[in-house]
Amino acid sequence: MGEVHALLGHNGSGKSTLIKIVSGYHRPDCGKIRVNGHEICYPTNALSLKDYGVGFMQQDIGLVPTLSVLENLRIGLLQTGVLGHICWRKEREKVSDLLSSFGLNLSPDWPVSRLSASERSIVGVVRAFQNISGGDASEANGGLVILDEPTASLPEAEKTRLFDVIKNVASRGVGVLLVTHHLEEAVEFADHVSVLRDGRLVASGPIQGHSYDTLAELVVGHAVEKFIERTRKPNLNNDVEALNVSDLAGNVLNGVSFSVNKGEIVGLSGLMGAGHEEIPFLVYGAQKARRGTVSVCGTAFRPDPINARRLGMALISGDRIRAGGVLTASIAENVTLPVLATLTGKFRWLRVGQEKSLVQSLLKRLKVRIASHHLPFSVLSGGSQQKVLVGRWIGSGPEILLLQQPTAGVDIGASQEIIAMLREFADSGGTVLFSSEQYEDVANLSDRVLVLRDGKIVCELQGDSVVAERIVSSCHGKTDTRQGEVCA
């Protein structure tokens, strides 16, 4: 019987570095790693780690969407006949057995692209497991499966299913190292827990006696303050309408109308794929709307990033790698991108001195410490990157801030700072519209929450009903409300 061991720590705590060392991506400076009593010789790679009994599932799972489940699972292990041909029939049986032993009812021939998000991550876990067990559904003789943020892209509801599989893997005698940002996962599912902070192990022991709060304290390094309820209670009658959306439709989104007032923070939530995540992009014009109109401060506008910027909108995409900061450009260049026009002097020469002081003051305010702001953006941890991105846009003085998943993949410390920044922005009269599936954060941040299901708004929560439980239950349609009805 193996255990589930959770490895916690915020961005930049050394979690990913540790995993990268174990996986052979980085070479250790010193120290040893033993698996099943055997010391791993470095340098190493995934193939030889398999022989040590270490299997991995990386954060992006690493499945090839166009290939079948079978091919993805068995790549490198395919059984061949005398002539070197693949024994597809045997393989198919084997994979079917393996999958059904994990309660997964899939055809091995389905392309991975056909699977749901949770099924994909389950296939990823199963692959990591069978890589070390040699493909037999039966007991493995020890070994370790390392899962890096397996729930990162999963909606709340599907996490339980994945954790059933993870427990199942552990019950077959394999140790599971669960790397995660989500402290509640550790509390709920792990047997042991280790916490890293600033590259050191600050705690390690059984999960018993730990709660979300004690773990949060260990991760952050100081007691986590509970958010005080936002003082501003938007008065819908007197407020100035900042943004009005009517009958907006996108890929999933199907005719959504709502408005947001000046100084208000509106959260858009739902299960993954419910359409809420499209709204910031459609409003900003980064994605073409099928139909619908958007008006800003009473005047209709044609959604398009350049127009949107001119009208004082800013969009922070949830896809930080591709559409957030530019990783190869320097931190300073990323920070000043939205305000470059104000930094030009004679002959449109960029005033470097002014840029430097601006960057330094912003980084200081965001508490992002860095050796030099000429370093590439990629040296910052995920949490710092997100802080800088939110900070730079707020610093550019927008009227309306549109965000997608502002706190996804961000450690608890950074996400609290981001929430605080956004609140401050709204308090000073800014308008915030964001989509998220981090229900706790949605509840913490929003004055009002719109919950979507199948591309339509199914519920509007405000006032005291803005709590995570209510959001989650409306996502699943447990509340008895009809479309568009305010269920406060």
Partner 1 sequence: MVSLNKNSTEELKDLARSSMTSQGRRTKNKPAEKLPGDRNSRHATAKEFFRNYTVVLALVTVTIFFAISKSSTFLALGNFQSILTGQAVLFVLALTLTVALGAGEIDLSIGGGLGFTSVLIAYLTSVRGISIPLSLLISLLAMFVVAAINGFLIVRIGVNGLITTLAMGTVLDGLSQAISNSSTIGNIPHRILLIMQERFLGVGLPFWYAAAIGIVIWYVLHHMQSGRYLYFTGEGREAARLAGIKVNRIRITSLFVSATGAWFAGLVLLGQTGAAQSGTGDPYLLPAYAATFLGAATIKPGRFNPIGTFVAVLLLAVGTTGLQLFGVADWVTNVFDGAILIVAIGLATLVGK
Contact residues for partner 1 (CB under 8 A)? 12, 193, 197-206, 209-210, 217-218, 221-222, 284, 286, 305-306, 308-310, 315, 317, 319, 322-329, 333, 337-338, 340-341, 343-344, 348-350, 369-372, 375-376, 379-381, 384
> Whose Cβ is closer to partner 1: residue 261's or residue 431's?
431
CB of 178 to partner 1, least distance (A): 17
**SS3 state of residue 393:** helix
Nearest to 324 by CA among 271, 269, 371, 383: 383
Nearest to 56 by CA among 135, 129, 123, 146: 146
Give 168-190 as a DSSP string: HHHHTT-EEEEE-S-HHHHHHH-
Q: Using alpha carbons, list the distances in angstroms from residue 26 to 12, 13, 17.
A: 16, 16, 8
> Whose Cβ is closer to partner 1: residue 92's or residue 356's?
356
**SS3 state of residue 368:** coil
CB of 346 to partner 1, least distance (A): 11
> Whose Cβ is closer to partner 1: residue 58's or residue 330's?
330
Tokens of 102: 């994990």
CB of 284 to partner 1, least distance (A): 7
Give the β-pairing of 200-206 and 241-249.
unpaired
Q: Output phi, psi for 56, to 5 deg.
A: -125, 150
CB of 486 to partner 1, least distance (A): 32
Please list the residues that pair with 460 across neighbouring strands: 450, 486
The angle formed by the CA atoms of residues 12, 8 and 190, to the nearest 5 degrees, is 165
CB atoms within 10 A of CB 297: 16
> Whose Cβ is closer to partner 1: residue 238's or residue 328's?
328
* Cβ 165 vs Cβ 126: under 8 Å: yes
Q: What is the DSSP-derived secondary structure letter of residue 70? A: H
CB of 328 to partner 1, least distance (A): 5
> Whose Cβ is closer to partner 1: residue 74's or residue 387's?
387
> Whose Cβ is closer to partner 1: residue 331's or residue 466's?
331
CB of 392 to partner 1, least distance (A): 10
Q: Where are the alpha helices (DSSP H) in 155-295?
A: 156-171, 183-189, 212-220, 279-284
> Whose Cβ is closer to partner 1: residue 214's or residue 259's?
214
Burial class of residue 65, CB neighbours in 10 A (0-12, 13-18, 19+): exposed
> Whose Cβ is closer to partner 1: residue 187's or residue 379's?
379
* Cα separation of the two ends of the chain: 47
The span from the CA of 54 to the CA of 223, in Å, is 35
- The residues near 305 (Cβ < 8 Å, ≥ 6 apart) are 284, 285, 286, 315
CB of 302 to partner 1, least distance (A): 14
CB of 93 to partner 1, least distance (A): 43
- Residues for the chain: how many in total? 488
The angle formed by the CA atoms of residues 62, 65 and 71, to the nearest 5 degrees, is 80
CB of 353 to partner 1, least distance (A): 13
> Whose Cβ is closer to partner 1: residue 214's or residue 254's?
214
CB of 304 to partner 1, least distance (A): 9
CB of 369 to partner 1, least distance (A): 5
> For the CA atoms of 116, 386, 11, 441, what is the dihedral angle to 10 degrees?
-60
Tokens of 169: 């893997």
> Whose Cβ is closer to partner 1: residue 217's or residue 239's?
217
CB of 255 to partner 1, least distance (A): 25
> Whose Cβ is closer to partner 1: residue 107's or residue 204's?
204
Please list the residues that pair with 144 across neighbouring strands: 54, 175
> Whose Cβ is closer to partner 1: residue 202's or residue 468's?
202
The span from the CA of 41 to the CA of 20, in Å, is 15
